[in-house]
Amino acid sequence: MLEPKDMRPIPKSVKIPKRTIPDFAMTLNYSAFIFILFLQKHVKILTIKSSKGGPLHQWVGERYP
């Protein structure tokens, strides 16, 4: 049996960077994809609500012309 001192660095230094970083990037890309789809569906509603030229209208206009 390995001692706890020998087993501790294995999951912290090897498994965590290889597993969680790609999963974290995948979840970021997935959430960004849903957010872009949500914006595309609701851009008209957002522009109607902020038709007075609010910061939200400028933000949507700059990033999604």
Tens digit of each residue's pLDDT (9 = 90 or more) over 37-61: 777 776 665 555 555 555 555 555 5
Q: Write the CA distances from 3 to 7, 9, 13, 16, integer angstroms.
A: 6, 11, 17, 20
* Block residue for tokens 């914006």: 39
What local confidence, expressed as pLDDT, does residue 11 receive? 47
Every domain of the chain and the residues it spans? 7-63
CA 48 – CA 64 distance, rounded (Å): 15
The whole model's pTM is what?
A: 0.28
